[in-house]
Amino acid sequence: VSWLGALRRGLDGPRYRVPILMYHRLAEPMGVDRRYDNLCVSPRAFDEQMRFLRRRGYKTLFASELILAIRDGHAVPERSVVVTFDDGYDNVLSAGMAPLERYDVKASVYLITEHHRLGKPGFLSPAQIHVLDRSGCVELGSHSRTHPKLDQTSDQQLEDEIFGSKAYLDELLGARAWTFCFPYGNYDRRVVRMVRRAGYLGALSTRPGAEHRPRDLYGLRRIRVVTEPIDSFARLLHG
């Protein structure tokens, strides 16, 4: 049995244990709508969490850096962690940028490109996206054009969401190797095929967990962070 286990491990490639933290809004929970509150981490708690990463010697990687390491079988530093933001809210800049710079933390931010193109209130403007991009501590990625459940779209819509958002990012920031993040975490084989065909390096899901293998590159697991005491945050990183 053990040789079979070893063979399986060999075929699967090495395992990486790297928490990919998932944030949405940096705002105070309102205590009214739990679905809204679950997407909020207060600016004060975020600052404390980033300070914790710095003080405990965590090394932050962009999602693209982790994906390339896994793809190519390269080692990552001990205590690596990835910080991600979904949806491109403007408080990532107003409340997030200062702690990221203060504690030397990198973050990957996933944009819903039509919101930014059309100037939807509460979302990053194209000028603000440029500020994040130039900071050096943020990489941008695609979270689709309009944030649909991709596994429920027609083939034409799917192509439009995945290729269209990439074309927008190429135009806004210059062509580069982008990563993708599935809206609502919804995906299936058809969605993954399209994401690969468009040339994305890999994609993030909302499946919980911190272990990754090469076969998971288009569906990496993440850990949802909510406002909570710092000792719970520490447990999230180890859990």
Q: Which residues bind Zn ion (CB under 5 A)?
A: 86-87, 183
| Residue among 183 and 202 whose Cβ is closer to Zn ion | 183
| Residue among 24 and 212 whose Cβ is closer to Zn ion | 24
| CB of residue 182 to Zn ion, shortest distance in Å | 8
Closest-CA residue to 179 (of 89, 75, 73, 63): 63
| CB of residue 87 to Zn ion, shortest distance in Å | 5
Amino acid at 95: A
| Residue among 64 and 205 whose Cβ is closer to Zn ion | 205
> Which segments of the chain are extended strands (E)?
16-17, 20-23, 25-26, 40-41, 59-61, 80-87, 107-111, 138-142, 180-181, 203-208, 211-212, 218-224
What 8-state DSSP symbol labels residue 198? T
Q: Which two tokens stand for residue 237?
A: 């990183």
User: How many helices (H) and strands (E) are present in the chain, helices listed first?
Assistant: 11, 12
| Residue among 69 and 115 whose Cβ is closer to Zn ion | 115
**Structural contact between residues 76 and 63, judged by C-beta atoms closer than 8 angstroms:** no
Pairing of strands 211-212, 16-17: antiparallel
Residue sitting closest to Zn ion (CB): 86
| CB of residue 25 to Zn ion, shortest distance in Å | 11
| Residue among 39 and 50 whose Cβ is closer to Zn ion | 39
| CB of residue 9 to Zn ion, shortest distance in Å | 34
Burial of residue 89 (CB within 10 Å: 0-12, 13-18, 19+) is buried
* Helix, coil or strand: residue 31: coil
| Residue among 65 and 87 whose Cβ is closer to Zn ion | 87
Q: Which two tokens stand for residue 61?
A: 């990687």
**Structural contact between residues 24 and 39, judged by C-beta atoms closer than 8 angstroms:** yes
| CB of residue 46 to Zn ion, shortest distance in Å | 18
| Residue among 94 and 146 whose Cβ is closer to Zn ion | 146
| CB of residue 147 to Zn ion, shortest distance in Å | 6
| CB of residue 14 to Zn ion, shortest distance in Å | 30
